Structure 1
Amino acid sequence: MATPDASEPTTVPLAGWESHFADGEGFRASDDPELQLLTQQLPSAAGSRLLDVGCGLGGYAAGLARWGYDVLAVDWASSAVAAVRDRYQDLVPNLTAQRLDFTDEQAVGRLGADAFDVVTMRLVYPFFTDKRKLAERVRRLLRPGGAWAVTTPLAERLSARRYIALSVGEVGELMSGWDSGAWVDLEPGGLRCIVLRR
Structure 2
Amino acid sequence: MTSTGGYWEPLWAQGRRYRRLDDAETRLMTDHLGPGRRRLALDIGTGDGTLACHLHHQLGYRTTGIDCSSNAISLAAAQDTGPAPGPVWKYTDITATDLTEHPDPAYALITCRLVYRWMDDKRSIVNRVRRLLAPGGTFWVVTEIDSRRASTHPSRVSGSPPRRPTHSLWPGPSPVPPTSMYSAATPSTAEQRPIKYRMTVP
TM-score range, shorter chain: 0.7 to 0.9
- List per-residue Cα deviations over 1:144-195 (Å, max 9, x = no partner): 0000011001125556446799957324648863424454557114x56555
Q: TM-score, normalised by structure 2?
A: 0.76
Q: Which amino acid aligns with 1:86?
A: A
Match for residue 71 of structure 1?
Answer: 63
CA contact (8 A) 2:5 2:93 kept: no
The residue correspondences of 1:146-185 to structure 2 (distance < 5 A) are 146-158=137-149, 160-161=151-152, 169-171=167-169, 173=171, 177-179=175-177, 180-184=180-184
Residue 26 (str. 1) matches residue 29 (str. 2): no
In structure 1, stretches of 5+ residues that fail to align are 1-9
The residue correspondences of 1:1-198 to structure 2 (distance < 5 A) are 11=2, 13-42=4-33, 44-65=35-56, 66-106=58-98, 108-111=99-102, 115-158=106-149, 160-161=151-152, 169-171=167-169, 173=171, 177-179=175-177, 180-184=180-184, 187-189=189-191, 191=192, 196=197
Match for residue 7 of structure 1?
Answer: none
Residues 12/171 of structure 1: CA separation in 2 closer, same or farther (3 Å cut) = closer
Residues 166/139 of structure 1: CA separation in 2 closer, same or farther (3 Å cut) = farther
CA contact (8 A) 1:113 1:140 kept: no
Question: How much is the aligned-residue C-alpha RMSD, in angstroms?
Answer: 3.1
Q: Partners in 1 of 2:164 and 2:175 — Cα distance? A: 18
Equivalences, count: 187
* CA-CA distance at 1:109 after TM superposition: 2.3
Q: Which amino acid aligns with 2:168?
A: E
* CA-CA distance at 1:126 after TM superposition: 1.4
Q: Partners in 1 of 2:83 and 2:23 — Cα distance? A: 17
Moved over 6 A (4+): 163-166
* CA-CA distance at 1:54 after TM superposition: 0.3
Higher relative contact order (CA 8 A, sep 6+): 1
Q: Which amino acid aligns with 1:102?
A: I
State the identity as a percent: 28
